Each structure stands twice: as C-alpha cells, then as structure tokens.
Structure 1
C-alpha cells in the first residue's frame, strides 16, 4: 500500500528530477536494457506516475534550473541523487562529470565537495587489470583506498541528503543494492582466470550509498508506514 505522506516536491520537479537522472544515465552513450527496464518501472510506478519513458527527453541545465527555481534544498538533493547515479557502478566518467558540472552551475549552487569527485574521474590507463586482485584492505572508506581522504567532503555532503519523499525513497531502495554485489571468479577449464572484486571495493562512496538506502528504508517504514520487506 502506497503512503499518503505529502511530498515537498511538485510534480514538475519530480519529472525534471527524473529527466535529469536519465540525462546522467545516457551520458556515456549507453543505455542498457536492464537500465531501461529499471527506469521504466520507476517512471511508471514511483517517481512520476503514469509517465511514459518514451515521451521523456533529456533535460537541459536551463530547464532543470527553471524547475527548481526557489527551492535550493530540492535542487541540492537532486544533485546528490545525480552523483549517486553517476558513481553507483564505481566509474565516474568524464561525460558524467561534465553534465553534473553543468547542472551544478545552472542550479546556482556552491558545493565545494563536488570538486573532490574530480579525483575519481575514470582514466582507462590507470585502471588495474581484472586479473589483479584489489587488496583486501582497500574497502571503501578505509584509509588505504586511494581516494578515501580526498573524498571526505563529498562523503559528508552525501550523508546530509534529506529523505522526505516516498517516491524518491523507493527509487533509492531499488537502485542501491541491499548487499555488496558482483564479486565472483571466472574460471576456464577449472582454473581461475579473472577475479572481479565486489562493488564495495570499486566504489569509494559505497558506504554513503548504503547509508542513504538505510535512511530511505527507515523513512518508508517509520514515516510512511509502508511494508519495506520487498526491498530487503
């Protein structure tokens, strides 16, 4: 049963929010079937009820700014989810960074923490080979992770995101995995040839995403009286 908690965001802002996230998802030119299925579900059932994904277009920075005029708190929370989507897979691409920078400027926000993200930009020449295991102590958030210290400002900024809308809370619960995924060995003829580490070792902001997911679950359960068992 859906909650009747009043949203602090207008329908126009929610649609602009979704278009902004779609713009981030399309930034690198790839929109996998799995991503499209998830976005379609969120469009029809969660963020903008009854909206057809085929009728949605990428949003320009100016359009985004118009939608959030007079509500800097909503604009900043949108930017937090945009960053979350951009780094969720552990890769922050140049294309994603450019769009987020454009959104940041158009919204008229002054967020120094975003500068720290530039240190995580994807450089294919510096990415370890898949055959190389990432050290066991390179967990996200530990001092041995290359970006752990420089990313402290953006971690604190993400931790301040308000969870006060049931649609966005459901979006977060669905897009952030409940467990650290994807660790596996690929074997050929019984011998390991590749070890793919878990996402928590690839993504230095993984703990912030998990914390945001927990706050979203708590909000839906405690404030909206929703059954959150399907997200666990």
Structure 2
C-alpha cells in the first residue's frame, strides 16, 4: 500500500526541477533517440499527471529560477541533484559545467563547489573511457562529497526520477568479444570514480524514502 506523503515542494517547483535535470542530461549532446525516449517515459512514470514538463524542452536558467521561486533550500538541493546527474557517467564535460554555472548564478547560489568540481573537466574531443573524475586526489574532492551528502530526499517524484536516472549497476563494465571469444574485460569505471559513493548513497536514500516513507514497492528499481 502506498502512503500519501506531503511534499514540501509545489508541482510547479518539481516540474522545473525535473526539467532542469533533463537539461543537464542533454547538455553534452551525447543523448541518442533511445535515451530520449527512455527519459520521456521516466518523467511521466508514476509522477503527478498535473506536472507540466513543457513538452520535455530544455529549461533556461531564468525559467528554472522562476519555477523554484525564492526557496533557497530547494535551489541548493536542485543543484546537488544536477551535479549528480552530470557526473553519473564519470565524465564532467565543459558543456555540463557551463550550464551548471548558469543555473547556479540564476538561483543565486555560491559557486564554490562548482569551482572545485571544475578541476575535473574533461575535453570531450579527446575523452576516452578512462578520462574520468580520477584526475583529482580524493582529498581535493572532499568539499564536493560533503556537499552532495547533504542532499535530503523529500519528494517522491524526485526520488522516482533519481532511482531511474542513477543505474543500479555501473553501465560501463563489459566484456569485449571477437568471434565469440572474450579478448578483454573492461572493469566498471565506477570503481575509480571518487564520487561514486555519493551516487550510490543518493540512490539508496531515494529507494529508502520511497519504501519507508511512501510505502511504495521499489522492486522495479532494483
């Protein structure tokens, strides 16, 4: 049985929030038709049918700020989830960085965390699967870790989105085969992504919130 949980956020705020996350996901342009269709399904699956996603169009920084209003707590938590979406694949691109800075400025949030994360920027023109966030020593990313760990999951719509957006397993681990024979095993890049624990922790908190607070069956996300 699902428990009705009252969210501290309005439908307008959540619509802007999720459109903002989609905009980040699309920022680097590496988003094929299949992935777009998947996201289109995710944004509507199990969410409030009254939410208006603007036909899944990218949201501008000004629209985002207007949608979230003057709620600084919502603004900070949005930025936390946006950073999580940006680093979910282990590569932090220039496009993602520029968009996050624009969002940060529009929401009147301090850019200190983004300035730390900016040191991990990857040039996509020469990016390879090994060009991940390991460019920084772990201690250098501690402020980012602490900031991301401060995210509170308090809305079922955002929680469902995060459970779908953050994969249960690292998507990059695979075997490369030639004529049916394995020639190389590519390890999961999440093992060398120093912010992977924050991603896993966020997904776990979202699952726990849906199961414990909302009384939902979360087996579909596992």
* Contact 2:12 2:51 (8 Å CA) reproduced: no
Partners of 2:37 and 2:121 in 1: how far apart?
A: 27
* Residue equivalent to 1:149: 139
**Moved beyond 6 Å, runs of 4+:** none
* 1:113 aligned onto 2:113: yes
Q: Which stretches in structure 2 are left out of the alignment for 5+ residues?
A: none
My pick for the range that moved more, 186-195 or 168-177, is 186-195
Aligned length: 221
CA shift in 2, pair 1:53/1:113, >3 Å: closer
Q: Which stretches in structure 1 are left out of the alignment for 5+ residues?
A: none
* 1:158 aligned onto 2:148: yes
Partners of 2:165 and 2:209 in 1: how far apart?
A: 16
- Deviations along 1:97-135, one digit per CA (max 9) or x if unpaired, are 1000000011001142221111111135875677xxx9x
Partners of 2:102 and 2:38 in 1: how far apart?
A: 25
Partners of 1:37 and 1:60 in 2: how far apart?
A: 21
CA shift in 2, pair 1:193/1:119, >3 Å: farther
* Residue equivalent to 1:172: 162
Instruction: Tell me the TM-score normalized by structure 2.
Output: 0.87
- Deviations along 1:50-77, one digit per CA (max 9) or x if unpaired, are 6686723211111111112220111111
* Residue equivalent to 1:67: 67
* Residue equivalent to 1:98: 98
* Contact 2:175 2:186 (8 Å CA) reproduced: yes
* Contact 1:187 1:193 (8 Å CA) reproduced: yes
Instruction: Tell me the TM-score normalized by structure 1.
Output: 0.83
- Deviations along 1:14-52, one digit per CA (max 9) or x if unpaired, are 111122122212212232233213311222224452668
Describe how 1:1-232 pairs up with structure 2 within 5 A. 2-49=2-49, 55-124=55-124, 127=127, 145-147=134-136, 148-189=138-179, 193-201=183-191, 203-232=193-222
Partners of 2:124 and 2:58 in 1: how far apart?
A: 27
